[in-house]
Structure 1
């Protein structure tokens, strides 16, 4: 489509993770736009905020909970469910597909972090650069103990700016205290925090209980192209 001079709106992470720069160069060469805000955190405008509202800023730290499945499963485990029970419940409500390994092992969050790094931080991140730890080794007792202490485990995707201008990328389950902006997320919420030099700290959270926000994101991208 890009080669044929057609604008593209996509929620598909794969091509952007594997060839972000190449696809954007192709779009520019053909005078068209490639829009992809729906690839990260459903209806949350994480990319739009980063690209539009943080212009001119240096982002020193990016922290995101871009995956609904893992937070939901960890909350069920903290409720007292076994792993099997939690996974079955997550499948029933539609936040977990198949065996869930793409989500539970942190690949989904890592892919979204790569897209955010390229799109917002202008850093040519690759998937292999992300230090990735999933949630599959977490014990339910650990999650319950954290909740009793006022903390919530979330699979946190982070990018921290180094002195040389590069970024260190990681995905790992972290027990977040309630004073952390993402530590207050409900099991059906996702969020992103941008720490910047000139705009301060920008926080965006979405409560996504159905597929409509994700679908609306694609409509928003179309409207942005033709506005």
Structure 2
């Protein structure tokens, strides 16, 4: 019952917008222009979502390698308080829990049985112990995490394109910030271009209707 209610709630505004645009863009040629704008908008969302996915895979591998190197070097090191400073993440995004590459900071280290999400904190001692193994033994690509990561990057792309800015997923590296800024600017240009087309066609239709009434 809840699912049907959600579908109805989503369908009503979509149908309303479709009917309104269909009325504004009566000539077939004008409708083609609108379709091009909408397809461009959707294509950019998918393209940027795929780009963010690639960046996530790239940065997850770098994060795993850098942490392995760091904790391997800290095997015999302690600060003045006898503690080890935990290394900060160097992932592309903050807020995406699933990872495409495993590393020393995972809850267990059993090859293919590694989990792709955090379920419990890992101590620095455990990470140092894991770093004693070769990197390729503990850093494996997580095929099961592909859908979760891509759905998260696609969601971020939609939020970014519409400039909603929820803040639950945020870019943390210079290249993800630069890419997200480019997407926002591109999305705004397309949005205002499409909006100007809608307003322009609406005004033209009103002017034509008024002129016919006078005649």
Q: Could you state the TM-score of these two structures normalised by the residue count of structure 1?
A: 0.29
Greater strand percent: which structure? Answer: 1
Greater helix percent: which structure? Answer: 2
Query: Whose Rg is larger?
Result: 2
Q: Could you state the TM-score of these two structures normalised by the residue count of structure 2?
A: 0.30
